Structure 1
Amino acid sequence: MNKIKVAVNGYGVIGKRVADAVLAQDDMELVGVCDVVSDWRIKMAVEKEYPVFAFDDLHKNQMKDAGIPVAGTLAELIEASDIIVDCTPKKVAAGNIEKYKAANLKFIVHGGEKHEVTGHSFSAENNYETAIGRDSTRVVSCNTTSILRTLTALKRAGLLKKARGTLLRRATDPWESHLGGIMNTLVPEQEIPSHQGPDAQTVDPELDVITAAVKVPQTLSHLHYWNVQMTRNASKEEVLTAMKSSTRTLFINYDDGLSANNAIKEWMLAKGRPYGDMYEVALWQDMLKVVNDELFYAYVVDNQAIVIPETIDAIRALTGIETNAQNSILKTNQSLGI
């Protein structure tokens, strides 16, 4: 079987995880990773023996001066690849797209970019088939991914009428919390709905969903509270059965000591997950409450990891190496230990 040649542009929080995940697939080959930095972050790619590319000649010289073996520039990485996953910071990817288009290279961007950048937004359990053979897609953000996984499961079961969610958002990524973020305060987003609800509708316009968000002084994850009006009265057991149709939702209990996001993170580390990553939505099943046709639940989102399996599935969809969503999802789940 000919493997899909995958490039990763941006070797940061998401990029390093995408590169590792690509390496775990038997139908993909990691051609290389590209970045502009010359510090410990890209040196980790060297330690893993990933081919390292520089964004341009200027950064290539800077990397060489730092003792980093450089395989080439982004232009050469593009030429050697079938598809590129752009994991550069917010708004940077939009500036790279013309390079990909000029080379007739398929590409994936992430939730920091606008839907209009690709004209298609992706969530594997929701709209895999619509991405097959496309030139590009946008894997939606961590929060939006979690919204789609849970609400789509309810929708498939014919239970979803409308959903209202409150999002407690981490202030910054853990590795850079010394550089910025907030402390000893809560910062509500000014606009209601916050952007996550409308973002979910770029994948499924039929969703009646409104979100409000608050930035909180911690870095480990996001926490969502949801109030859903169902189409009819239902039991808790029926709701849980519907939710479990998502293979990327993890059901947890307070009674197991998993009562906070730091405990969940420690659990993932104990399970041997790379970086302590949790690819699933961690939903408290013992907190979930049903009152007639109203549903209340909460869950935790690992903002650094949840989009990784979605990205792997998006690679398969765009390149057409797997046209069945469930086959791709199963393959990705098995390779990542989901």
Structure 2
Amino acid sequence: MMMTGQTLGPSLAPRGDKHRVLVFQGSESFQTGLSYVAPRLARWTGGEVCRDTSQERALAFAASPKVVVFTLETEFNALEHVSPSQLPRQLVAIVDRLPPPNTLERQAALFCLRRATTAIVPTRWYRDYLRKYEPEVWDTIHGKVQLLPLPIDERPDVPTTAHELASWKKRQRDVFCSRNGLRHCRRLFALMTRACPTKQLDRVAHLCNQLLQDQSVNVAIAVRLDDASGSDDMRSVLNLRQLADQHPCRMVVVDNHAGGKSFPQSELLYSAADWSCHLATFEPQGLSPLLALRAGCLLAHTSVGVLSDLDESSPDVRRLRVPIPHTIQQLASVFHDVDEDAIIDQLRIACCEAARQYEWPRWAPAYRQFVPSA
């Protein structure tokens, strides 16, 4: 039995024939939070990525791979018709987005989790969320949980001194603004999201209006339409574009075709940004905060998202020591509440906390010299 919270590594499966490992990735996950995870899992384990179709899934089980990795966004009917003797030696579940309670989808997910030999959770925050708010899920997986770190060698080279950090962020910001036709600014607010009802893009437009009242701030929004986007979401995206047209040198809305939180595009956006907020059901447990923090981008808490205000008083959030507005409307006032030195200090502290939470060995000592309590 694995130790709870053990970090996932290359030893998930022995290397060898590439068909020993088959990584299932649901169509939704290919577009969102785990779009960069499946290829890395496959590479670590000597396997291959399988896009989720019924035919491919059937072929996968027929080929009897040694390890199958799946997400909770795939369709699980196939598993219900496979006897335990036909299951692969290791069945790995990526626990990212859970189906709603009291639904057939939730029951199917729990069925698969019971059969899984390993359950991967993205972060410690999400693991703690499951333990506290999803007892049924936690009781199913707690003895077989592993954390999922991001590869160290693909992390941006963020400086580790206050002066270098300030200079690096300014260079990244200037490059981003030049490429997107924005004037140079003191601060850049960035947001990466998909268009769906839970993101409440109408409130994002209201936030952008407030931010643009500060002449020192530019706004960059990367948005993507997907299968969950309805007519109201498309209208909200159109409103954002119209707002950007009214502020051609200060706001840009770009299409995010690269797959949700795809690594290169996220790093580009967040490394240029000083501030961002995470429009998600689970905040700050999601993967967007992870990508933002490790690119030196501060997070501001919002009330967007079904459960986003659950953990405002949690120790994990307080330790970040960044301004955490209670509502999205209050975010605009943050820029007037702190000076440049305070922002640099908060960036150091936030990145140090991220290094600890997500186990980046090379980062933690560098930031710890600035933050003795970390």
Q: State whether TM-score is above 0.5.
A: no
TM tier relative to shorter chain? 0.3 to 0.5
- Normalising by structure 1, we get a TM-score of 0.34
Compare relative contact order (CA 8 Å, sep 6+) and give the higher one, 1 or 2.
1
- Normalising by structure 2, we get a TM-score of 0.32
